Amino acid sequence: MPVKFGTSGWRSVIADEFTFANVEKVTSAILAELVSEGRSGSTLIVAHDSRFMGEAFSTVAANIAAAKGYRVLRCTGPTPTPTVAHAIRANNAIGGINFTASHNPPEYQGIKFSTADGAPALPEITTRIEANYASNTVVSDANGGEIAGHDPRPAYLDDLRSKVKLDLIASAGGKFVYDPLWGTGRGYLDKILRDAGVEVDTLHDWRDVTFGGQPPEPGEEHVGELRRAVIENGYKLGIATDGDGDRFGVIDSDGTFIAPNKFIALLADYLYESRGWHLGLARSVATSHQIDRVAKSRGVELHETPVGFKYIGELIIKDQLILGGEESAGLSIRGHYPEKDGLIACLLAAEMVAARGATIGEQLEALYKRDGRLESGRIGVKLTPEVAAKLKEKLAEDPSEIAGRAVRSINRLDGVKFLFGDDRWMLMRPSGTEPMVRIYAEAADADEVNALMEAGRSYLLS
């Protein structure tokens, strides 16, 4: 069966497709790509998250790379994906092989390949890796390879300290609660806050490869314990990260879950205000247009990208952005890495509350008063062969109306996005991480959002 790199690497079920044999082949395919670029014998980062067998799979990759002449810096212990990005850049590595399935259910494992800039590999690179895998391309062994243990945490945390106003968070007082969801954020996000003198309690502060029997995703349906802790104990803010630390979750002081779409727009506005940056903002095609309204109010350019943070990462590298974000709870900021970082997102949430002296909810109401309010939603349809065939047909159609709503324009940047006017839209696209079709919608009214999503489902299945 062919290996396919999605929006953030190759992911599959352990002992089904994700086997030692396939790990060997994918690692060899990645090294063949590096050799074809003339990048043999250089430093390579190898890491893993807190999933089952992460250490064993990363050992296989490290041994193969060392045998091919690479100097392997193997990260000690489960490592957040943004920390891997920093390690690549800090050690002038040619890239990184990271064993992670991010927020996927616990039965999954994955391999993510990042390039020398710390960004997820672009499609033109992963396509060649897939071809190398299919053709069993193997590079010759070489001398000079070695494996050295590497602790990337101190340097990464020092970098975060230079980008977040931790002294402001500490001086404002209040107590925070953090839920790493048994993932790699443990000992990272809570440590940096405590080191700064900030009071923080940690939930699920141990490794559990089953993630409590749920996907390690900081979405509203998976952070119930965090929400209860905030309400019952009067925390100033509840913050969470996913299994590999690249996604964030935020619970306001009253227990309200703050949707990533809303948080990204609010944080973009705060960074413009607090940092004095006059650059653009970026969002994926599936992300709320609330950030478009912030860009308009602040007089900055808005960039729209396909889904997949690698596209926003390119704009970060070019220093064109204040912030770039995706509705799936990923963001990065100016001067940071071209990779999602849930840890800096949570730290900036705490800074924003401290600096403005207002809850997230209060700040959002002020934003809506200025820019107006948009509501958004997302549903999934299982990607059966029949649905896949229908999706292909629908992507090619040019309907003039859907469920009685006139289609003003169609955006095919990624999937098919129907724009109905008045900031109402509906998008259909296959997920890059799970076997389903995502249907997204946005409007000023929550009932209209639900109606648009159901209209999208009916349109897809008709």
Q: Give the pLDDT confidence of 115-163 residue by residue, as tens digits.
A: 999 999 999 999 999 999 999 988 888 888 999 999 999 999 999 999 9
E strand or H helix at 279, and its extent? none
Confidence band (pLDDT; 50, 70, 90) for 392?
A: confident
3-state secondary structure 131-192: HHHHCCCCCCCCCCCEEEEECCHHHHHHHHHCCCCHHHHHHHCCEEEEECCCCCCCCCHHHH
3 pLDDT band (50/70/90 cuts)?
A: confident
Question: For 275-316, how does the pLDDT look when each residue is reduced to its tens digit (9 = 90+)?
Answer: 999 999 999 999 999 999 999 999 999 999 999 898 999 999
Note whether 166 and 131 are same-domain residues: no
Q: Are residues 179 and 296 in the same domain?
A: yes
Both tokens of residue 222?
């998976």
Query: Which residue, among 249, 247, 328, has the nearest Cα to 286 in the 3D structure?
Result: 328
What CATH number should be reported for the domain holding residue 226? 3.40.120.10
Residue 297 falls inside a structural domain: yes
Q: What is the DSSP letter of 122?
A: P
User: Percent of the chain beyond pLDDT 70?
Assistant: 99
Total of domains in the chain: 3
Please list the residues that pair with 72 across neighbouring strands: 44, 147
Q: Are residues 346 and 406 in the same domain?
A: no
Asked whether residue 347 falls in the same domain as residue 440, the answer is no
Q: Which of 153, 188, 219 is the last residue of a domain?
A: 153
Residue 248 belongs to some domain of the structure: yes
Whether 308 and 176 map to the same domain: the answer is yes
Residue 176 maps to a domain: yes
Same domain, 326 and 419: no
Measured CA to CA, the distance from residue 88 to residue 82 in angstroms comes to: 10
Identify whether residues 64 and 77 lie together within a single domain.
Answer: yes
Q: Which of 112, 129, 153 is the last residue of a domain?
A: 153
Count Cα neighbours of 356 within 13 Å in the Cβ-side half-sphere: 22
Alpha-carbon distance of 450 to 448, in angstroms, equals: 5
CATH no. for residue 382? Answer: 3.30.310.50
pLDDT for 1 equals 66
Same domain, 149 and 162: no
If asked whether residues 305 and 417 sit together in one domain, one would say no
272 & 129 share domain: no
pLDDT computed for residue 37 by the predictor:
78
Full domain range(s) for residue 267: 157-371
Q: Of 371, 397, 423, which one is at a domain's C-terminal end?
A: 371
pLDDT for position 4 = 84
Residues 350 and 426 in one domain: no
The whole-model pTM stands at: 0.95
